[in-house]
Each structure stands twice: as C-alpha cells, then as structure tokens.
Amino acid sequence: MSLPLADQVEALQGCKVIDVSSFLAGPFCSTQLAEFGADVIKLELPGVGDPLRKFGTVTECGETLPWLSECRNKKIASLDLRKPEGAALFKKLIADADILVENFQPGTLEKWGLGWDVLKEVNPRLIMVRISGYGQTGPYRGRPGFGRIGNAFGGLSFLAGYPDRPPVTPGSATIPDYLAGLYGALGALLAMKARDLTGRGQFIDIGLYEPIFRILDELAPKFQTTGYVRQRMGPGTVNVVPHSHYPTKDDRWIAIACTSDKIFSRLAEAMGVPEWADDGKWGTIRQRDADRAQVDEYVGNWTSQYTRDEVLALCEKFQVPCGPVYGIDEIFEDPQYKARENIAWVKDERVGELAVPNVVPRLSETPGRVKWLGPSKGAHEDHVYKERLGLDDAEIARLKALEVL
C-alpha cells in the first residue's frame, strides 16, 4: 500500500536550489528538481519578475499559462542582484545551497561580482548550472540566444520541412530550452553524485544549441566519413522506409515506422502483398530506399482505403509499429494518456483547475508530483527572508525601500 503524499520520501528531499534564471531553459531545469522534492527558491527582479510571466496566453489572474505550468513547485521571492545589498543576501542564500541555476549571458554574474570564482569560495560544495545561448566559452559566447536560434545553429531546423521549401520550425521553437533544462538537471544530479566522492562542487556549462546537436543521430559521423549533407525529407526518415506519415480515409494521418526488413514483411502481409517482402522486390532496406517515393505512394494508397482506427487495428494485428498523428484535443481524449495520468489536473485559487503535463520520469518508490502552479510575485518572501535568513520586519522594509526586494 502506498504512503499518503505527505508521508512519502521524496527523491531530492533536503536538496536546496536557488534559481536566478529566466524565461524557460533555466526555470525548466529547476522545476524538474522541484518536482522530485528539491526546495527551490526562485529569485526575480523586484517589480519586473521573470519574462515568462508575460510570455504566452495570459490567464484571468494575470499570469501566463507557461509560467503557471513551468514554474510549479517553487518558492518565489524578489531580489536585485545588481545592488550590493542584494548581492550580500544572495551570498547568504548560496552559503548553504546545493544547486544554483542561472541563464544570464556569459559574464553577467561576473560583472556583478557573483561569478563562479566568487561563489565557490562562499560555498565550495555549490553546484552551478549555467545555461546560455552558446556556452561560457568560444567566439560566440557573448551572443544572445533563444530556442529558435538553438534549433537553427544546432542543425535541426535545416532538416525540418520539405526539400523544395524553406526550413520550418521543427515542432516548437522551445525544444532547445526544454532539452537544455533537461541536460541541466541531469548535470546537476551527476555533479551531486561526484560531490559525494570528492566533497567539491562544480559548474555545468550548456549552450542551447548543444542538446540539439547531440540528438542528431548519425549526422556528424556520416558527414565526416562520406561528406554526405542530409537534406530536408518532409515526414520521411533517412535510412528506413516506409517510415513516415500517411493519409487515411477519414482525413486523418497515421505514423508508420518500418525500421527493419522483418517489420516491413509484416506490413506487406497486412497490406495483402506479402510477395513484396523477404525475397521480393522490396525485401531489403536498400531496395526500398532505391524506390522510396514509390514505396511511400503504395503505403499511402493502402492507408487511404481505411479510417485511421481501421489502419491502427490492422497494424496492431500484424505487429507493425504505428500511431495516430494527434492534435492536442485528441491527446485529452486518449485512454493511454488517461491510464498513465500524463495530464495533471492542478487546483489553484487564481485560475481554478488547470491541466498541465505531468511529471516525467516515473519513479516507483519516490515519485515526483505537482504540488502547486507557478506562484504570484513575492509569494514566499517571508519564508525566504524571515525563516531562511532571519531578517526582521524593519530590515525587510529597509531593503524594499531601497528596491533590493
């Protein structure tokens, strides 16, 4: 029998995180830590807040949906790091922190006297996640960067779209932000493990484009060994065919993935043309790749004879990997999403109940959870400055008068 939520041990219980990042990559990094029990304090510029509060669809409470969804489980306070009093308070918070997350342009924290060399003296066990457009080194380190630039510079945008048309956004311009945040969280956990062995902290350095370049399968070794520059292929996939999106009779789309000759043999049987597979004209990937356009045309003609559900049933019967090309409305209705609770319904006094993507990954003994949505400005300042740092009301009032808080 599982324990009540209040009694469950959390994977990152006791881990203290300070988040001074903004917009998306850094905040997503610390959100993942917060989902698994880390105590995350997010510091924002007084009166201004994180730009993510103004990015996307604005709700009736004045906060945007990306803010509410992607800054969940954090405690919020304001602090101006640029002022001496703010820098001093920041160092006090850093003194017993485990992880710091930042995504300023390289050199910004150093300009304020809060670079790695300073902070590691304050707390030698500190782990610092640094996410920027191009990383902390190299000739482009000072350039600003956003997700769209990460997609483009990382090599993904060049591959997105059809060969006779301009490159398109590969799904979302924010993919690099999410991937960089994911790698940032991974890096922080690896550094915590290393700290157990060495007793010392370290910093993690991530450029937004680097996770994009990392996931481009054989692109780099293929170019290095053969000089091949992969071009846009629409919904098709290099090295395998049929492996694309195909139309159905009810004006839907189905994704079919034949990643081996054996799977194509099963698809050919489902299509009623088993003679095309094995020793037939398209039995090997080399044969199918040579006739790629014709293979895709035949598969598309076959799927067009059936509704999407009928194609799904046929593919399932013959164990051919396939899936519907879903819009978000269909995701909300799908029984697999419901069974896995992939959508979390979170109650909030500002907006009522809000549907947000649930926590990933799943841990059987210490699962993560969404405790609350992205808070309002200054929501936890008493906790941070009175309980954590021991400031009294008079000192807090003084700092607010100076616009440090």
Which positions are catalytic? 177
Q: Is there a contact between 134 and 140 (Cβ–Cβ < 8 Å)?
A: yes
Cα–Cα dist 321/233, whole Å = 20
Non-local (6+) Cβ contacts of 402 within 8 A are 83, 85
The neighbour count for residue 113, using CB atoms within 10 Å, is 13
Backbone angles phi, psi at 310, to 5 degrees: -70, -40
How is residue 141 written in tokens? 């380190």
Q: What is the largest CA-CA distance in the chain?
A: 85
Q: Where are any strands of DSSP class E within 39-169?
A: 39-44, 75-78, 99-102, 127-132
Tokens read off for 235: 């919904």
Q: Rounded to the nearest 10 degrees, what angle do helices 175-198 and 25-35 cross at?
A: 60
Strand, coil or helix: what is 357? strand
The residue to which tokens 């780099």 are assigned: 220
| Residue linked to tokens 């370049």 | 213
Alpha helices in 215-372 (DSSP H): 219-226, 261-271, 285-290, 292-303, 308-317, 328-333, 335-340
